[in-house]
Amino acid sequence: MNGCNGRNKEIECKTPYFQTILEMFGPVLFNSMQFRKVTVKVKNMKKLHYSELGLLNTKDMFARAMTEKYAVPAYNFNNMEQIQAIITGCIRSASPVILQVSGSARTYIGATFLPHLVAGARAMVEEMGSPIPVALHLDHGNSLELAKDCIDSGFSSVMIDASHHSFEENTKLSRQVVEYAHAHDVTVEAELGVLAGIEDEVVAEKSSYTRPEEVERFLELTGVDSLAISIGTSHGAHKFKLKPGEEPPPLKFDILEEIERRVPGFPIVLHGASSVMIEHIEKINRFGGAMENTAGIPEEQLRRAAASAVCKVNIDSDGRLAMTAAIRQIFIEKPSEFDPRKYLGPARDELTEMIIHKNTSVLGSAGRY
Ligand code: G3H
Ligand code: 13P
Ligand code: ZN
């Protein structure tokens, strides 16, 4: 972070209400005071196990995805409309779902508020009489403290992303998270190799592919339940800079196959898997946006990955683009509109349709439950 003085600030609150207020306004306040990291904790906060929210960890989801050769979608969300669209799309397409939030998304929503949003999603599943399994996952967790905090507040799965550290440090931190998580029946995802783009405040200019020869040892030493690998995907809407008529380079399926050979049946995770759908980009640009030089992972490549040991596919950017396209259209076509329901509603519908499309035509997770 620019201009930081490297100091950390931890604040204890006496009530969840005070915590929510601090989470909303704390980062702005303390960033201006140049603290590097602000952690807000509720003193004596009541612990919440994910089973109380009707959630499941990812173990059985992945076992089934592996046998039946599809991938479970992991969709990021930051607000109510997104989680509603994700859950509706997955209920309607009978797909298992991993609802995931990054550390910054959790701060944005508010750690106290988040379990209530997720409880709402689970209630919707019940109300519709749907049998789909739902997990709540921490995306790109960057510390043991954050992982513990999430485990203690209703998460059924956590990622510890120490992939930009040395192999030894990555192994050590991942192992520490596994010890705490497994004691609470929470599943853990770790990462080997680095994706280009932004990984929750860690910016990598260049990717480094996963080295298959490190995988077995990493799994043995850490005991993680799934592994994110780097085979040519990256985060965000600008994955490749292509010249007109150029195709994105294919993913490194040779690396994936070598990993499958070394650890058969082990669940692999693909981050940075948005396709940057052309219809959304065209709509955004038609209605006043400026999204240039965008490119994502072609659907055909994702279909191939989903039929392999890849059991979880992370999608965030495509959801952001879908909502932005719908909102831009309303703002341009109806400039006098100012009722949030009139633009967030269509944005939610656009995202729901996108979720159904991904589950049905890309990941193969539709119709499984
Ligand atoms: O991989 C990162 C996700 O897209 C989350 O992004 O940290 O902006 O919530 P965020
Ligand atoms: P995209 O930016 O390609 O959607 O990737 C999201 C992701 O990997 C979240 O962890
Ligand atoms: Zn990611």
Place of tokens 């003193």: 43
| Gap between the Cα atoms of 130 and 122, Å rounded | 10
What CA–CA distances, in Å, run from 347 to 77, 235, 341, 358?
13, 22, 9, 17
Domains of the chain and any CATH numbers: 4-42 (no CATH), 50-363 (3.20.20.70)
pLDDT at 364: 98
Could you tell me the pLDDT band of residue 17, with boundaries at 50, 70 and 90? Answer: low
* Residue 358 structure tokens: 């991904």
Which of 104, 227, 297, 316 gets mutated to test ligand 2 (max ligand atoms within 8 A of its CB)? 316
Q: How far is the CA of 329 from the centre of ligand 2 (A)?
A: 24
* Shortest-distance atom of ligand 1 to CA 78: 9
pLDDT averaged over every residue in the chain: 91
**Angle in degrees, CA 307, 310, 312, rounded to 5:** 115
Nearest CA to ligand 1 atom 7: 200
| Gap between the Cα atoms of 115 and 207, Å rounded | 34
**Catalytic residue flag (residue 318):** no
pLDDT at 1: 31
Could you tell me the pLDDT band of residue 14, with boundaries at 50, 70 and 90? Answer: low
Q: How far is the CA of 163 from the centre of ligand 2 (A)?
A: 16
pLDDT at 15: 60
pLDDT at 190: 98
pLDDT at 4: 34
| Gap between the Cα atoms of 294 and 314, Å rounded | 18
Nearest to residue 220, comparing CAs of 166, 174, 281? Answer: 174
pLDDT digits (tens, 9 = 90+) for 251-310: 999 999 999 999 999 999 999 999 999 999 999 999 999 999 999 999 999 999 999 999
pLDDT at 35: 58
| Gap between the Cα atoms of 366 and 356, Å rounded | 8
**What are the pocket residues of ligand 1 if the criterion is a CB atom closer than 6 Å to any ligand atom?**
76, 102, 104-105, 139-140, 199-200, 235, 316
| Gap between the Cα atoms of 213 and 262, Å rounded | 8
Q: How far is the CA of 321 from the centre of ligand 1 (A)?
A: 14
Which of 139, 161, 320 gets mutated to test ligand 1 (max ligand atoms within 8 A of its CB)? 139
What is the rounded (10 degree) CA torsion for 67, 73, 74, 77? -160
pLDDT digits (tens, 9 = 90+) for 56-84: 999 999 999 999 999 999 999 999 999 99
Comparison of pLDDT for 261 and 198, the residue scoring more: 261
Q: How far is the CA of 152 from the centre of ligand 3 (A)?
A: 22
Nearest to residue 103, comparing CAs of 145, 165, 52, 44? Answer: 145
**What are the pocket residues of ligand 2 if the criterion is a CB atom closer than 6 Å to any ligand atom?**
76, 139-140, 235-236, 271-274, 314-318
Q: Which of 60, 139, 149, 200 is catalytic?
A: 139
* Beta strands per DSSP E along the chain: 7-13, 35-42, 72-76, 97-102, 134-141, 157-160, 187-192, 197-199, 202-204, 226-229, 268-270, 310-315
What is the rounded (10 degree) CA torsion for 60, 62, 66, 67? 20
